[in-house]
């Protein structure tokens, strides 16, 4: 039994659907859920990268189904949920992780830059959440985990579109939690700080050092730090927690 299972219980028998599972935080969450015992439906647009994540999942002994889907397209989202139900019969956990950035100062931001980020991050979260609501309500159980960001709480210059999308996800999470609590369906958000991913690798050393200095713990997080919280929120150890936002930021919001 792995550490995540012994401390937080097991996710054996649970089915989790993870969006943006092809890389970074999404891949880390998917593999951590598998290590805790869950079988996975993996969603993203990149089939090749999804297959790489699926291999990591199956290496843990769990099942993985790759579902190529566009989170911003309601038809594609509906098909992804139907496919997951056809393969696994139920959805116990939804992780809305898919997201993009398209940074610019507000005065220079184009309509396309605004719409792309809002549509993928916020509308995509809404569409997948709406799509799993009926099956989760019917089975009277479920955990919806939305990946927000500390930027959605504190804001950031040059990221008004991203901040608005992530702040919207937090508000959506709280509203969904209130709507679905009576059916034993929970909704919570994780707000990561600076996490080492492909995106942070593109930053200069000078920018990285400046960012580290602003963090009380003086270091970036890694996908596993976010994944550990997702495992907790997916399982019975968090059965009485809903509508919350858990910051994973090394103390940046202190």
Please give the Cα distance from 54 to 68 (Å, whole number).
Answer: 12
Q: Is the dihedral of CA 135, 136, 137, 141 positive or negative?
A: positive
Q: Are 190 and 244 in contact (CB under 8 A)?
A: no
Q: Which helix (H) or strand (E) holds 216?
A: none
Unique residue bearing structure tokens 């507000």: 106
| Tokens linked to 91 | 């959805």
194 classed as catalytic:
no
Unique residue bearing structure tokens 């990221």: 159
| Tokens linked to 57 | 């999942």
Please give the Cα distance from 68 to 109 (Å, whole number).
Answer: 30
Please give the Cα distance from 136 to 147 (Å, whole number).
Answer: 19
Residue among 126, 162, 194, 240 flagged as catalytic: 162
Identify the CA nearest to 99 among candidates 31, 166, 192: 166
Q: Using only C-alpha atoms, what is the Rg of the chain?
A: 17
- What are the Cα distances from residue 163, in Å, to 21, 90, 95? 22, 33, 19
Q: Which helix (H) or strand (E) holds 112?
A: helix 111-117
Phi-psi region at 2: left, alpha or beta (left = phi > 0; alpha = psi -120 to 50): beta
Report, as residue numbers or ranges, the catalytic residues.
Answer: 162
């Amino acid at each position: 039994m792995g550490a995540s299972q012994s401390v937080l219980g097991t996710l054996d028998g649970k089915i989790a659907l993870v969006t943006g599972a092809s890389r970074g935080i999404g891949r880390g969450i998917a593999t951590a859920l598998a290590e805790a015992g869950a079988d996975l439906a993996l969603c993203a647009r990149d089939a090749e990268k999804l297959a790489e994540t699926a291999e990591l999942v199956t290496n843990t002994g769990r099942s993985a189904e790759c579902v190529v889907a566009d989170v911003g397209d309601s038809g594609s989202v509906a098909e992804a949920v139907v496919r997951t139900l056809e393969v696994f019969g139920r959805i116990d956990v939804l992780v809305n992780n898919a997201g993009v950035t398209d940074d610019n100062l507000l005065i220079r931001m184009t309509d396309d830059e605004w719409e792309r980020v809002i549509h993928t991050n916020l509308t995509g979260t809404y569409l997948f959440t709406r799509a799993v609501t009926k099956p989760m309500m019917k089975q009277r159980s479920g955990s919806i985990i939305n990946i927000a960001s500390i930027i959605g709480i504190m804001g950031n210059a040059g990221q008004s579109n991203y901040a608005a999308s992530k702040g919207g996800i937090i508000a959506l999470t709280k509203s969904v939690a209130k709507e679905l609590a009576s059916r034993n369906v929970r909704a919570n958000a994780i707000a990561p700080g600076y996490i080492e991913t492909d995106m942070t690798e593109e930053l200069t050393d000078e920018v990285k050092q400046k960012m580290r200095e602003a963090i009380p713990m003086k270091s970036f997080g890694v996908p596993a730090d976010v994944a550990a919280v997702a495992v907790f929120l997916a399982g019975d150890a968090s059965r009485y927690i809903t509508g919350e936002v858990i910051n994973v930021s090394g103390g940046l919001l202190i």
